[in-house]
Amino acid sequence: MIVAEQKKLDEIRGSVSGARKILIVGCGTCVTVCFAGGAQEAAILASSIRMANQLDGQTCEVADVTVQRQCEWEYLDELADQINGADAIVSLACGVGVQAIAERFPNAWVVPGLNTAFIGMPTEQGIWEERCAACGDCLLGITGGICPIARCSKSLLNGPCGGSEAGHCEIDPNIPCAWQLIHDRLEKLGKLELLLEVQPPKNWQKARDGGPRKVIREDLRLTHKE
């Protein structure tokens, strides 16, 4: 899932300074799971802005609403009247959600209420860790299901660096060496021979280097007959 953290209240208030009618829009998927931008967080943020404004002697109407996903038009279209009637929109979604609202409603002033961090998972209560760098050319099939790009601090693809020690990263001893994890898992599964196979250079053209990416499924596209 996409993991994000909510921005500081002062930063959010500053980005909508002067607005008389603010709409906080929560997202019911990834950022709800990581307790950053769901219905509860949207309601709390709206209340916090109201109270802060009152203390500062400011008059402002603040409402909140949450949709299932901000990254799809069908859910955003439900908010058309509310969005068009607001002076400023605070999106509690990942950066995709912020841009989706701005694209769907070009006359709306939309600001982010979150900082999008990474694609990851919860490893224990209250802790989320990065697991995927969305590189576009997945190699987990030869690394035992452990991503060296996301989990190695140096994103090395040819094995551990010379600085790892006792299975820990030289950059931070609290980070396990990704290549140690890969080796140990492949050894446990009896598949260490995978590391002996010479792999071709990674195709980084499928990553972010080639500009904004797009996935097209022709079998899912609508065909219109005249």
pLDDT at 226 over 60: no
pLDDT in tens, 160-199: 999 999 999 999 999 999 999 999 999 999 999 999 999 8
pLDDT in tens, 83-128: 999 999 999 999 999 999 999 999 999 999 999 999 999 999 999 9
pLDDT in tens, 15-49: 999 999 999 999 999 999 999 999 999 999 999 99
Rounded to whole angstroms, how far apart are CA atoms 55 and 68?
Answer: 33
Q: Which residues share a beta bridge with 91?
A: 25, 112
Maximal C-alpha separation, the chain: 69
Grouping H, G, I as helix, E, B as strand and the rest as coil, residue 10 is helix
Three-point CA angle 143, 122, 153, nearest 5°:
45
CATH 3.40.50.2300 range(s) for the chain read 2-118
Three-point CA angle 59, 62, 68, nearest 5°:
170
Q: What's residue 223's pLDDT?
A: 59
pLDDT at 9 over 80: yes
Rounded to whole angstroms, how far apart are CA atoms 17 and 191?
Answer: 58
pLDDT at 66 over 50: yes
pLDDT at 225 over 60: no
Rounded to whole angstroms, how far apart are CA atoms 175 and 98?
Answer: 32
Q: Phi and psi dihedrals of 121, rounded to 5?
A: -155, 160
Among the CATH numbers 3.40.50.720, 3.50.50.60, 3.40.50.300, 3.40.50.2300, which is that of 2-118?
A: 3.40.50.2300
